[in-house]
Chain A
Amino acid sequence: MTGRGRGLARRLALIADEVRVPIDCDADIVSARQKGRELASQCGFPTTDLAVIATAISELARNIVRYAVHGEVLVRLVEADGKRGIEVTASDDGPGIADITLALQDGYSTSGGLGLGLPGTRRLMDEFELLSDFGKGTKVTVRRWKR
């Protein structure tokens, strides 16, 4: 219906196992990116893409630890229009994002960080969707397709 929802409406087929990693502390950030990388590697992504995907997972998982304390990262292999890809969903029931436009700007951070997590992750991946209800939580979904 809207341009924003188009990516979601497309039929995505799940083509393999998924990995679900609860995010509660520092160490979970490392474990999420390692498990995500493993899954992407099974799918045959080249090394450069593996680093890109692992970095994106790291940034999204850190946002959970830093802003929401608890959440989860779900990584799955998907297929659409004959292309294979990897989808990462980072969700939490934390405070949500007050100003999404600001949060997507380079250098903007409310936690004293570099402010590159969200805008940087958006640059790393092919698709980026951000849903946030202020006061209720945040869900970021990113995808990268195999070339």
Chain B
Amino acid sequence: MQVPILKQGAYLIATVQSALTDEDLKQLRDTLVVSVSKVRARGVIVDVTALDVIDSFATRTLRDVAHMIRLRGAETVICGIQPEVAFSMVKLGLSLEGIATSLDLEEGLAYLDRKGKGPGQEVGTHR
């Protein structure tokens, strides 16, 4: 099951539409890391609203995506983790520490917009 990746402005949006196998997850990771520089994206959103399970492998892969994309100079937001999925993740001992998450796509885009305007990005405009 391939995950469609859309370009919107300076951002890439990957919307997971159904359950992903480990192989699908790895492919999503690899595609995102390559695409981010191809389109010179400043931010990536991975929308996982449709996922009813985020287990240890999925968590590790999402974490890798965020770290790899940061190394490529862009930001990642994981959006739409369902409440029962969050519950299971915490019980299992999983976390996405240090990785931006948002309630939904709208919040994720707002986060990236704020990040883009924040200090560090516009060198010289802040003291």
Contact = CB atoms under 8 A, between A and B. Distances in A.
A124 B92 contact: yes
A139 interface: no
A29 B56 CA distance: 13
Interface in A78-136: 106, 113-114, 116-117, 119-121, 123-124
B53 A116 contact: no
A33 B20 CA distance: 12
Interface stretch (A6-14, A50-58, A69-77): A50-58
A50 B60 CA distance: 22
A58 B93 contact: no
A27 B21 CA distance: 6
- In which size bucket is the chain B interface? 20 to 34
Contacts of A140: none
Contacts of B57: 62, 113
Given A26-B22, A34-B19, A119-B93, A52 B88 contact: yes
B68 interface: no
Contacts of A51: 52-53, 82, 84-85, 87-88
Nearest to A113: B56
If over half of B's interface residues share one DSSP class (helix, strand or loop), that class is named, otherwise mixed; here it is helix
Given A27-B21, A59-B92, A124-B91, A47 B55 contact: no
Contacts of A26: 21-23
B59 interface: yes
Given A48-B87, A54-B53, A106 B93 contact: yes
Given A47-B84, A48-B87, A51-B82, A33 B93 contact: no
Closest 8 CB pairs of A and B: A120-B92, A51-B84, A58-B55, A55-B88, A26-B21, A48-B84, A116-B93, A26-B22
12 contacts: A29-B22, A30-B19, A33-B53, A48-B83, A51-B88, A52-B84, A54-B52, A55-B55, A120-B91, A120-B92, A120-B93, A120-B94
Interface of A: 26-27, 29-30, 33-34, 37, 47-48, 50-52, 54-55, 58-59, 62, 106, 113-114, 116-117, 119-121, 123-124
